Amino acid sequence: MFKFLETFMVVYRTHSFSLAAQQLFITQPTVSNQIKQLESQLHTELFERKSRRESIPTEAADILYKRSAKILDDWHDINTEIKDLQTNEQSHVRFGISQTVSRIMFAKIANQISVSDPTIHYDVMVSNSEGVLSQLEEYKIDLGIIEKPLVTQNVRRTSIGKDQLVKAGAPTGTWITREPGSGIGYYTEQYFREADIHPDRLIHVNNSGLIRRIVSTGVGQALLSSKDVPTGVEVQTLGTAFIRDFYLLIRDDDLDDPLLKTVAEIIKLVNQL
């Protein structure tokens, strides 16, 4: 049942059985079979098959989607509590962080957690900013840390630090940037608009570390954190308009969770040191 719900949620978001299969690394017939079994158990149709490429959610699917994330989160909590009984782990947090956060901030957070409360156990998933928010909304993570100023219902966003973006690299006419949905991608597009830049060539790379390495070879330019510029690379400061915030994300219904409140305070402490 839980595997069926996970598959259902991906189909619901993509409106496509084939895209869901690609994201889940399973075959399309497997996706179709799981949805059919779920529909059979619920005695209702969840998707209207408009074409081979598009499946439109029904009203029943809308209701199920709103509840599925919470059901899966509760199931995860049950598994975690049972595992904790076996391993004596008392505190466990699932982090979702952006790639920039993973490169320049999270190591400090990990160290501070170890110093402040070594009984806290955690896992970390790295994605782009929109991916982190999506994981939080779907109860796949407990806390998110991103740099793109995303807003959504039922999620509290708190600034936990500042970061200066700079233009780095050789002005060859080539720009390297992240994929849509990422923080760097968002700010690069903003810079292009404000500076009226039309790159001769635009390269999208879904890994911040690789962008940094490409820039270091002289291929072109990119926006990078001032804390993440390779040694010897030409840098131009962009000013206060490109000072961005790092944001801590937490669901509204978790604001009073004692463990998450403790971890949030530890994270805020890191940026005061």
Domain C-terminal end among 35, 53, 75: 75
Is residue 8 pLDDT above 80, yes or no?
Answer: yes
Number of domains in the chain: 3
Is residue 257 pLDDT above 60, yes or no?
Answer: yes
Domain C-terminal end among 28, 43, 75: 75
Give the residue-averaged pLDDT of 194-219: 95
pLDDT of residue 194: 94
* CATH number, position 46: 1.10.10.10
* CATH number, position 153: 3.40.190.10
Tell me whether residue 80 is in a domain: no
Tell me whether residue 14 is in a domain: yes
> Over the stretch 135-181, which tens digit does the pLDDT of each residue have?
898 888 999 999 998 888 889 999 999 999 999 999 999 999 999 88
Tell me whether residue 110 is in a domain: yes
pLDDT of residue 213: 95
pLDDT over 90 for what percent of the chain?
A: 57
Is residue 51 pLDDT above 70, yes or no?
Answer: no
pLDDT of residue 85: 59
Is residue 74 pLDDT above 80, yes or no?
Answer: no
pLDDT of residue 49: 78
Is residue 90 pLDDT above 90, yes or no?
Answer: no
Co-location of 57 and 153 in the same domain: no
Co-location of 104 and 217 in the same domain: no
Co-location of 26 and 38 in the same domain: yes
Co-location of 112 and 210 in the same domain: no
Give the domain extent around 229: 162-242
Domain C-terminal end among 75, 103, 118: 75
Give the residue-averaged pLDDT of 76-87: 64
Co-location of 142 and 179 in the same domain: no
Co-location of 42 and 168 in the same domain: no
Co-location of 92 and 139 in the same domain: yes
Per the listing, tokens 């993570």 go with: 141
